[in-house]
Amino acid sequence: MTIERDSTSQEHPPKQKNAKSHAGGTPAVASALKHVMKTAGPVRGTKALLDLNQTDGFDCPSCAWPDPDDHRATSEFCENGAKAVASEATTRQIGRDFFLKHSIDELLAQSDYWHDQQGRITEPMVLHDGQDHYQPISWDAAFKLIANELNTLDHPDQATFYTSGRASNEAAFLYQLFVRTFGTNNLPDCSNMCHESSGTAMMQSVGVGKGTVTLDDIYQAETIICIGQNPGTNHPRMLSALEKAVENDAQIIAINPLKEAGLVGFAHPQKISGMLGKSTRLASQYLQVNLNGDFALLRALGKEILARKNFDTSFIDEHTQGIEDYRRQCEHSNWDTLTSISGISKKEIQQLADTILRGERKLITCWAMGITQHRNAVATIREITNIHLLIGAIGRPGAGLCPVRGHSNVQGDRTVGIYEKMPETFLAELDREFDLNCPRKHGYDTVESILAMHDGDARVFFALGGNFLQASPDTHFTGKALSKCSLTCHVSTKLNRSHLVTGKTGLILPCLGRSERDTQNEGDQFVTCENSMSIVHMSRGKLKPSSPDLLSEPDIIARLAEATVGNRERINWRWLVGDYDRIRDLIERIIPGFNAFNRRVREPGGFYLPNSAKQRTWNTPSAKAVFSAADLDQIQVGKDRLILQSLRSHDQYNTTIYGLNDRYRGIGMGRRIIFLNPKDMKARDIAPVSLVDIISYWQDGERKVENFYAIPYDIPRGTAAAYFPEVNPLIPLHSTALESNTPTSKSIEISINPVP
Ligand SMILES: Nc1nc2c(c(=O)[nH]1)N[C@H]1C(S)=C(S)[C@@H](COP(=O)(O)OP(=O)(O)OC[C@H]3O[C@@H](n4cnc5c(=O)[nH]c(N)nc54)[C@H](O)[C@@H]3O)O[C@H]1N2
Ligand SMILES: Nc1nc2c(c(=O)[nH]1)N[C@H]1C(S)=C(S)[C@@H](COP(=O)(O)OP(=O)(O)OC[C@H]3O[C@@H](n4cnc5c(=O)[nH]c(N)nc54)[C@H](O)[C@@H]3O)O[C@H]1N2
Ligand SMILES: [Mo]
């Protein structure tokens, strides 16, 4: 079985043009409309766009950046949000005929791009042991099959239940309730591969695992650092907020090994000036840091601030602990080491210090995967916090920490219990409310789930959304792990590679998408999501469901729960999903901050969940915010090796490939490419756009992917970049961030060999 088919069917070299100097503008509008009209058609497409991100419409499934509290434009979405909606609202469909026509092997030979192009899955499908085609199965039979598998395990811990971050609060709450009633905490999620490092670090430093700022803070900030993040592609609506901040005299600092167009400048696609191609300059200082050089850069910045004695003594005295150890670390570190590791000169770091120390020192730091997916990610995020603590830039207007979340409800899923290590207070509340005896043993996270499946310790894999095979590290190993299961089951909207590498039995349970009307016993329902700034708000789909046989995610979970664990005195699963207000009432009873949930979420725009660090209350053991004094810990690679990061192109949503271009980076018609520094290419005799194989190294041996086009690019020497998920086969399963166990998708030791 070959599972590592290229993500695209690329036989021709990609086209390379100059990278763009700003994001947005008319090309963004044109690209958005093209995708929507082509895939969803004028009627369905236009309706979807008019509802997108409106207070009474549905939440954009593309990212977790918040919508303005007031003054929403009729087009409160971005190019990439429109592509996500087009992909979901497509009029194309696949059902029994499609699966009868295409065998598993045929489907495996197609690219991820092709898979997404086929359309929405319309009915439940099963792949029986030994068969090479999926067949239709009734919903009842599907639930019976899963319940039977689950109930014949020796122990509930032999099943693992993944969640991708699109699930609503209602679906996620019900899901974790079912899983814990069944008897396990095996609730891995995409967050394990995403912002886990942020949550881990922030809990240690400031006692809360979420960002502490609102959009108003962004507008009021004097300095905004965007580090390890590419908002022009992944959070395009953030650019409007940054533009507004710049108009209010904020300085934006970009810290990124690549010159990303969206950080350099922005032409607002919904403003006349933007349409005419006039762009606002965003970053006033662009630091092209070495890959994984951020810790050294931040340590140097702290050293500089301490040397200037320009810190906030009263904040430090009243609110923090540990400054002495941190100061010692800064004093002992040496400028030459810090500048050579970071690749940023002392002068540039001093200029950065000048910027953040001006005015009232209202600093916000925004970060994403460029920080969280390294071995030292947790320590680096604590180092970001150190800078904020030094100048008291947290818990006051215009200042704070802003981990920019990926999936639109990944933060909400955590809030309502999707976590393999939920705290005792939460579990005790579940026990009390539902008269349960929730397991206390921590469950498997994503990497541990893969290992458990591989070792035969987990035998049933269930996924609420996502594309586990392609999103996980070490695609080959993960594929083997999944195929050792007795049952793998996916609740999905679209076909993906995870459906094709199954356990003995494979199931696909097709569900409604965000944009679609969800009708239950008591009428049409809405769901709720929590965005990156802790605003809980409603999302109501209005499009006609793409097939009458689809069920909503909450309904699927309720039926599965009923079939597996049955109703209990205090849980009537099917009754709960008759009206999602009933599920929200339960969330209100269990989770702090949700008081009057059903009333408040109906107010336009929703409501903020409380954030202790924003109030300068520190839920740490010492009740203080904690300075971190970690040792400098830098990835080292062998001679002639490079460090590779895997990132997103402009035409994809994680593993869903919308198209083959990466417009801002100047790449056309290709994904199987590797960006390299021209000098590194020359030193290896690699010609531009020639083919190379990439080999990665880890203690357990080598991994290889073949036939990537080498693209000369403005990237620090000794580093490389290629697209996720094409290079996931290179990421060793055991190469994870310390403390958060997040795969190190941004630092992979590699070498490249020209293809003879
Ligand atoms: N259109 C679209 N939107 C999305 C997604 C999508 O795939 N497509 N995915 C969603 C999800 S789940 C997430 S988590 C977010 C991801 O959003 P991002 O984190 O912006 O996504 P990546 O493409 O992984 O980009 C990582 C950025 O970090 C930089 N970087 C890499 N290594 C380092 C480093 O060592 N130091 C520094 N300073 N920078 C580094 C890279 O050059 C790149 O600019 O986006 C969300 N939104
Ligand atoms: N190398 C590398 N690997 C990475 C990363 C990286 O930067 N580099 N990033 C990591 C990150 S940040 C993340 S978040 C993960 C993402 O991991 P996942 O969340 O598992 O992956 P997605 O690609 O977002 O999932 C796409 C699938 O979700 C299904 N889907 C879409 N909408 C819905 C819906 O409404 N309901 C349901 N039930 N299903 C739906 C569709 O079938 C689609 O095929 O990947 C991680 N993997
Ligand atoms: Mo993510």
Structure tokens belonging to residue 271? 């403003």
From 56-65, 138-147, 200-209, 587-596, the region with the lowest mean pLDDT = 56-65
DSSP-based helix, strand, coil % in the chain, nearest 5: 40, 20, 40
pLDDT of 360 over the 90 cut: yes
- Would you place residue 699 in the very low, low, confident or very high pLDDT band (cuts 50, 70, 90)? very high
With a Cβ cut-off of 6 Å, ligand 2 is lined by 164-166, 190, 193-194, 369, 373, 406-407, 464-468, 471, 491-494, 496, 511, 513-514, 553, 646, 654-656, 724, 728, 731, 745
pLDDT of 533 over the 70 cut: yes
Question: Domains of the chain by range and CATH?
Answer: 93-189+409-591 (3.40.50.740), 196-404 (3.40.228.10), 641-754 (2.40.40.20)
Q: Is the pTM of this model over 0.95?
A: yes
Helix (H, G, I), strand (E, B) or coil at 664: helix
State residue 28's pLDDT score: 80
| Atom 19 in ligand 1: residue holding the nearest Cα | 369
Amino acid at 670: G
- Would you place residue 3 in the very low, low, confident or very high pLDDT band (cuts 50, 70, 90)? low
| Atom 12 in ligand 1: residue holding the nearest Cα | 406
pLDDT of 6 over the 60 cut: no
State residue 25's pLDDT score: 82
364-378 mean pLDDT: 98
Q: Are 671 and 7 in contact (CB under 8 A)?
A: yes
State residue 75's pLDDT score: 65
Whole-number Å distance, alpha carbon 188 to ligand 2 midpoint, is 13
Paired strand residues for 401: 365
pLDDT of 751 over the 80 cut: yes
- Would you place residue 4 in the very low, low, confident or very high pLDDT band (cuts 50, 70, 90)? low
- Would you place residue 619 in the very low, low, confident or very high pLDDT band (cuts 50, 70, 90)? very high
Helix (H, G, I), strand (E, B) or coil at 493: coil
pLDDT of 10 over the 70 cut: no
| Burial degree of 455 (CB within 10 A; 0-12, 13-18, 19+) | exposed
* pLDDT tens per residue, range 422-455: 999 999 999 999 999 999 999 999 999 999 999 9
Atom of ligand 2 nearest to the CA of 727: 1
State residue 323's pLDDT score: 98
Which value, in Å, is the radius of gyration of the alpha carbons in the chain? 25
* pLDDT tens per residue, range 703-713: 999 999 999 99
Share above pLDDT 70 across residues of the chain, in percent, rounded to a whole number: 97
| Atom 38 in ligand 2: residue holding the nearest Cα | 465
State residue 45's pLDDT score: 82
Q: Tell which residue, 453, 426, 525, has the closest CA to residue 162.
A: 453
505-516 mean pLDDT: 97
Q: Is 742 close to ligand 1, i.e. is its CB under 6 Å away?
A: no
- Would you place residue 267 in the very low, low, confident or very high pLDDT band (cuts 50, 70, 90)? confident
Place of tokens 């166990």: 741
Ligand number, closest to the Cα atom of 652: 1
- Would you place residue 2 in the very low, low, confident or very high pLDDT band (cuts 50, 70, 90)? low
The residues placing their C-beta within 5 Å of ligand 3, an ion, are 194, 406
Q: Is 197 close to ligand 1, i.e. is its CB under 6 Å away?
A: no
Whole-number Å distance, alpha carbon 592 to ligand 2 midpoint, is 29
Share above pLDDT 90 across residues of the chain, in percent, rounded to a whole number: 87
- Would you place residue 273 in the very low, low, confident or very high pLDDT band (cuts 50, 70, 90)? confident
Ligand number, closest to the Cα atom of 7: 2
Atom of ligand 2 nearest to the CA of 728: 1
Whole-number Å distance, alpha carbon 404 to ligand 1 midpoint, is 10
Helix (H, G, I), strand (E, B) or coil at 150: helix
Q: Which uninterrupted H or E stretch holds 285? A: strand 283-287
* pLDDT tens per residue, range 31-47: 888 888 888 888 788 88
Return the number of other C-beta atoms located less than 10 Å from residue 283's C-beta.
23
Mean pLDDT rounded to a whole number for the chain? 95
State residue 71's pLDDT score: 66
Rounded Cα gap, residues 726 and 654, in angstroms = 11
State residue 343's pLDDT score: 97
